[in-house]
Amino acid sequence: MRRLLTLLLAVMLASAVSAQTAQQALREWKAGTRVSLKAVEEYGLERCFASEEIPESVYRRMRGRSFKEGTAVRRADLRYVRVLHYDDGGHILLGELVCNRMIAADLVEIFRKLFDARYPIERMVLIDDYNADDELSMRANNTSAFCYRAVAGSRKLSAHSRGMAVDINPLYNPYYRDRKDGTRQVRPATAAGYCDRSKPFAYKLTRGDLCHRLFTQHGFRWGGSWRSCKDFQHFEK
Ligand SMILES: [Zn+2]
């Protein structure tokens, strides 16, 4: 009997500690953390979908990485967006994005609807956690928006440089371009198997699915409908 009581006490203590850890993760918004629906409800679901000016702690992560010297936008033009998202296993995760203030309200609204519909997004942390290396972030299937960089293979600035583009589940929704010599360029390089869109697989973004519908309703253009190349992960305004 005493052993049973000790065990029960240990279980209660462990769940109290994990509930406390979840509240701390929510308060500090540790993106990438998995939380329960109960923890979200205790914290307040509405508080989990918001945008704000770039806080100092976020700016410190960005400086010298996604936010470089001579960047096309000012810090004041950018917003830090907090959202929740479900992964394909049905877990709730804390997500974060940096984008242009012009699309911050769009993103809060779109990701709220995607969350309500349990549209799966695997990971959403700042690209700075991958040292602003787009290839690494894409390989990790990390959804992201702002990053100061040129369009791959050119000197033209990407819409990501102004924070006006978002890449969703990029590993499973790659960019590819067929060269004249018959070879194919795929980004991320590990995504060659996901260029065939007739195959079924998790996190595949398709024309007419909820994600595509919401972004296009909000006035975004989809890279999956481009002709000279395909960029299935990419929405821009
Ligand atoms: Zn993109």
State the distance from the centre of ligand 1 to the C-alpha of 185, rounded, in angstroms: 15
Distance from residue 117's CA to the centre of ligand 1 (Å): 23
Cα 166 to ligand 1 centroid, rounded to whole Å: 6
- 190: which residues sit within 8 A by CB, 6+ positions away? 139, 171
Q: Give the list of residues 6+ apart from residue 110 with CB closer than 8 angstroms, or none.
A: 211, 214, 215, 218
In angstroms and rounded to an integer, the radius of gyration of the C-alpha atoms of the chain is: 20
235 Cα: distance to centroid of ligand 1 (angstroms): 7
pLDDT for residue 154: 74
Distance of CA 31 from the midpoint of ligand 1 (Å): 21
- Report how far ligand 1's centroid is from the alpha carbon of 153 (Å): 14
Distance 41 CA to ligand 1 centre (A): 33
Q: How far is the CA of 7 from the centre of ligand 1 (A)?
A: 51
Reported pTM: 0.92
Cα 81 to averaged position of ligand 1 atoms, centre (Å): 17
How confident is the model at residue 155, as a pLDDT?
A: 76
Tokens 């500090």 sit at which residue? 28
Task: Give average pLDDT by consecutive 10-residue segment, the chain, 237 residues.
Answer: 75 74 94 97 97 98 92 93 98 98 98 98 98 97 92 81 97 96 96 96 98 98 96 98
Q: How far is the CA of 172 from the centre of ligand 1 (A)?
A: 13
Cα of 33 to ligand 1 centre, how many Å?
24
- Residue 201's pLDDT is 98
The CA 35 to ligand 1 mean position distance, Å, reads 28
